[in-house]
Chain A
């Protein structure tokens, strides 16, 4: 499903971040990109999402691949409610479904500024899930969510995205152990 072939990328010419990096991943996998800060985990997700252009090599995805991403920041529109933010990218029904699944049934009409950090994170997750993506990119997506809730969300993602590819970054070893099917060191 995802093929990265000899990827080369650098923000500064003298500091290459990726030098002939290759990776293949299939549907149903949950791949954790692991590495120290500044090694390029977020950059790799951005490259896959098409937000950065590689200097060399190729990133190949199926032509009709539906991609969704949870960024390190929530990136919610402050002038839209939780439901408004999620339904921006999907149908109203899917938005409500995912928000309720993430325990936000009482917050459908709440604005991001009235929600806690963990709640905003769940709204951002719901937005990504509601588009029913083939490729789900999660950049420290579970940060700030309480442990019990995090576990429930990870179980739900495992159940509902068995036919999708999930690529995620995390600094939490327990989270990686519970969620990843494969770990890729960067």
Chain B
């Protein structure tokens, strides 16, 4: 039953994707200028041609490395900051304005500044970190704040050790907030990381190839590389969701029998 339902859902998703591919194909036929809008077939052909070259995989690998490194640093620091600011009002007052500024500042400003401060290969890592940090921080802080006070009082009366309060009370309460934040941050980190690669022209990167496609007016290449970014972003987001679902698996079963 569940398998049939999953199959049905997958077919519906595929049908929606096919619909938008058809729209794209129709528009490209209407425009009839591959330089402005190549067809999905042309983009796929270009992607196929790129796939068999060595630099394609090197670029994907290095972009993946930069984005995931920035994402992981952002997650670790975001979780630590979330816990610190939830624990201390003083720390919250201290960090809240800084993080508000980080959230509001245009990514381009940070990229240009980072280009002055850092090696160009490190710019995407730093930018991804900056984008991920406030999202994770805000979600973890909210998750800690929403933890059931009644359960915390129970833990206090029964004198539960800190380790148990963290693993049995806080962690399961914060996990859904963390999961939502991590999924959003993952999508944003690809957008920001690749944008940073484009501006910084990082060596052997997807962003560099996007830049080259732009200056050489190779629009099919632009679409092919963009498709790669979308695909990687979706795949990593799914992987992340699966990991988090596994982590909260028992909790979800218990709450929704």
Contact = CB atoms under 8 A, between A and B. Distances in A.
Interface of A: 49-51, 67-69, 71, 73, 75, 77-81, 88-89, 111-114, 127, 131
Q: Is the interface of A mostly helix, strand, loop or mixed?
A: loop
Contacts of B255: 78-79, 111, 113
Contacts of B250: 79
B54 interface: no
B153 A75 contact: yes
A69 B254 CA distance: 24
B157 A113 contact: no
Given A77-B168, A111-B254, A113-B257, A88 B160 contact: yes
Given A78-B254, A79-B254, A114-B257, A68 B157 contact: yes
9 contacts: A50-B156, A68-B157, A69-B158, A75-B148, A75-B153, A77-B151, A78-B255, A89-B158, A113-B254
B5 interface: no
Contacts of A51: 153, 156-157
B150 A111 contact: no
Which 10 A-B residue pairings sit nearest by Cβ, starting from the closest? A79-B251, A111-B254, A89-B158, A75-B154, A79-B172, A69-B157, A75-B150, A49-B157, A79-B254, A114-B257
Contacts of B164: 88
A89 B160 CA distance: 7
Nearest to A51: B153
Interface size grouping (class) on chain B: 20 to 34
A71 B156 contact: no
B245 to A, nearest CB: 14
Contacts of A111: 253-255, 257
B69 interface: no
A87 to B, nearest CB: 11
A80 B157 contact: no
Contact of A67 (B157, B168, B169, B253): B157
Interface in B46-80: none
B166 to A, nearest CB: 13
A17 B151 CA distance: 25
A79 B254 CA distance: 5
Contact of B169 (A73, A77, A131): A77
A147 to B, nearest CB: 27
Interface in B150-209: 150-151, 153-154, 156-158, 160, 164, 168-169, 172
A77 B158 CA distance: 14
Nearest to A68: B158
Interface string B124-165: 000000000000000000000000101101101110100010
Contacts of B153: 51, 71, 75
- In the complex, which of the residues A78, A114, A131 has the most CB atoms of chain B within 10 Å of its own CB atom? A78
B198 to A, nearest CB: 44
A48 to B, nearest CB: 10
A77 B168 CA distance: 8
A150 B70 CA distance: 58
A72 to B, nearest CB: 10
- In the complex, which of the residues B153, B157, B158 has the most CB atoms of chain A within 10 Å of its own CB atom? B157
Contacts of B254: 78-81, 111-113
